[in-house]
Amino acid sequence: MLAIRMTRHGAKKRPFFHIVVADSRSPRDGRFIEKLGTYNPLLPREHAQRLTLDKERIAHWLKVGAQPSDRVARFLAQAEMMKPRERRDQSKKPLPRAKAQERMKAAAAAAEAPAAEAPAGEAAAS
């Protein structure tokens, strides 16, 4: 499977990224097929060289079936080359500890409910 993703370059604490198309199994900074653009997060947002894209080649690779990473998909949506992706809401995802506590509360409530109903049922039968 082909992926359009970023590879990190630049010095320590001075990131610079190339946007490339690569096999999804290859390492992040490893072998790639073609360089499609650059991203320099240290430049101001309005700077022309902050993000450069070869739109024709990106359109070609998207037609061939390459899947952009989340960050690259955001860049492509800003460049109006694709629809924005739906964001997954991480706040709704329960934490493992909270999930275990919910299960314990549900089990305790289920254990109390039959015990509370049994005396009422016996009183009605008498």
| pLDDT, position 5 | 94
Model pTM score: 0.67
Other Cβ atoms within 10 Å of 11 Cβ, number: 7
Q: Summarize pLDDT for 39-52 with one digit per residue, the tens.
A: 999 999 999 999 99
> Residue ranges of the domains in the chain?
2-78, 94-125
| pLDDT, position 109 | 83
Range 10-22 average pLDDT: 95
CA–centroid distance for 103 within its chain:
28
Tokens 């290859």, residue?
A: 26
Judged against a pLDDT cut of 80, whether residue 34 lies above it is answered with yes
Tokens of 7: 């590879």
Fold of 2-78: S16 Ribosomal Protein; Chain: A; (3.30.1320)
Which of 14-18, 25-29, 90-94 is the least confident region?
Answer: 90-94
Q: Summarize pLDDT for 61-111 with one digit per residue, the tens.
A: 999 999 999 999 999 999 988 888 877 666 666 667 777 778 778 888 887
Say if residues 10 and 74 touch (Cβ distance below 8 Å): no
| pLDDT, position 43 | 96
